[in-house]
Amino acid sequence: MEFLKTLGIKEKNFGASTGLKWFETTDQGELKIYSPADGKFIASVYQCSEADYDAVVKQSHEAFLQWRKIPAPKRGEIVRLVGEELRKYKEPLGRLVSYEMGKSIQEGWGEVQEMIDICDFAVGQSRQLYGFTMHSERPNHRMYDQYHPLGVVGTISAFNFPVAVWSWNAMIATVCGDTNLWKPSSKVPLTAIAVQNILAEVIKQNNLPEGLFSLVVGRGSSIGEKLLNDKRVPLISITGSTAVGRHAAKVIAGRFGKYILELGGNNAIIMTPDTDLKMAIPAIVFGAVGTAGQRCTTTRRLIIHEDIYDKVKDSVVKAYGSLKFGTPMDEKNHVGPLIDKAAVELFKDALKKVKTEGGNVIYGGEVMEGEGFESGCYVRPAIVEAENQYEIVQEETFAPILYLIKYKNSVDEAIKIHNDVVQGLSSAIFTTDMREAEQFLSHWGSDCGIANVNIGTSGAEIGGAFGGEKETGGGRESGSDAWKAYMRRQTNTINYGTELPLAQGIKFDI
């Protein structure tokens, strides 16, 4: 395929790079990547060795020692150039995202646009790494705080957003004066290699330190564990399951490292009697079936007032009936495949379990067969009438299953149901009642990191901090003041007088 050639993807690729140099290890196993869209072989990647990893981290740290001395606005200029280079490759890179991961081509291009947008955001951020000034209680003293670069920042990304989430971390970290080490999901390494090839052009053209952007593709049991335990990497951002995050947090905390966790979501939309259905239905459907239900912000629960329950149910079923399925490379299709057959089995198992708990599948749930579905990864999204306390409803199934849950009384009841899960990422309410909307956003409202009114749970903008509470991990990435996580904070006090008064009025005469 032409877009593979354009992006420098060969039939066989190496799995470790410092930006310009690729380590040519071939004895650590070969990842053969097949597209979930059609089941066809795309290319393979040789996994890196532990020696490769050590060499990459060493180079990345050496690059940091240089990069931290560059003024932040100059670092921002480099990120601007990264954004310009991504603009050149938006079309082919978006195609690769779609073909390797399985999301629709529109979402593939949207993901690359998100990379471009975070570059633009980071350029502005490079001139706004603000500290604060404080009044000292001591005469002739000045106090302030400031932020310094942290070091090598590691990013462990998940398959569902092969490039965008890396860029949230990498571009902000870069303007903060850090260098970047990327371990992508072994399910979608080709997009990471393509990005590394794009970055190489910026590195060469601007004579940047090698190791500014590095990549390692390797086993979680070896390379992943080395990264978690590596004191040379002071911060690691991890996107993945709650189980992965729990293990990683324990290991990193054991060495007093820092981490950003973006873990599971069990996102709900509350629909009150004052819902504007014309607005709500498209938001529900995109939130539930976009990326075939494989977003951490996917809408998984609809909490519907009994007065409008039947109307909402009928409207959602009708909307699902209009969806077009097939290759994500065709812009006319709404829903593509799950990432692999293992994901299909999880989808099937969840539906079996919800039935045993008393749930009623009212739409979909089958694996699709026939022409165009030869990969075995296509499923028809399911709509299930359920109760919030069902064990399977309490879990995050990374597949397109939408649970319809009824409530009877006030929005207080709906919020209680909404918050009664262990995850806390994204949430939404549809209402035209200002009081209900404000209560949902209040201290006693949604307990999620993201709370929306009259829009869905997915599709967050890069300008806001992204992340969630509870077992979602508490991390924040992207916009707002998320940049502070990539720096170390320092409080400074300057005595410009001729005496040495102590704080709190302490006397110490010698």
Contact 124, 87 (CB under 8 A): no
119 is catalytic: no
| Active-site residue, from 296, 377, 396, 448 | 296
Q: Which amino acid is at 472?
A: T
Per the DSSP assignment, residues forming a β-bridge with 43 are: 33
Task: Provide the Cα torsion 148, 151, 156, 160; round to 10°.
Answer: 40
Residue 284 parent element (H or E) = helix 277-289
Q: Are strands 382-385 and 401-407 parallel, antiparallel or unpaired?
A: parallel
DSSP 8-state code for residue 48? P
Pairing mode of beta strands 487-495, 141-149? antiparallel
Alpha helices for 16-149 (secondary structure H): 50-67, 72-88, 90-101, 105-125
CA-CA distance, 73 to 127, in Å (whole number)? 6
Helix axes 189-205, 90-101, angle to 10 degrees: 160
The answer to whether residue 395 is catalytic is no
The SS3 assignment for 463 reads coil
Looking only at the bridges linking them, the beta strands covering 41-46 and 12-14 are parallel
Contact status, residue 72 vs residue 80, Cβ threshold 8 Å? no
Query: Cα separation of 69 and 177, whole Å?
Result: 8
Strand partners, 14: 46
Question: Is the Cβ–Cβ distance between 268 and 299 less than 8 Å?
Answer: yes
Within 10 angstroms of residue 283's Cβ, the number of other Cβ atoms is 20
- Calculate the CA 19 to chain-centre distance: 23
CA 281 to CA 322: how far, in whole Å? Answer: 12
Contacts of residue 507, defined as CB under 8 A and 6 or more positions apart, other chains included, come to none
Q: How far is CA 485 from the centre of its chain?
A: 16
107, 210, 262, 436: the catalytic one is 262
Residues paired with 465 in a beta bridge: 478
Instruction: Tell me which residues are annotated as active site.
Output: 262, 296
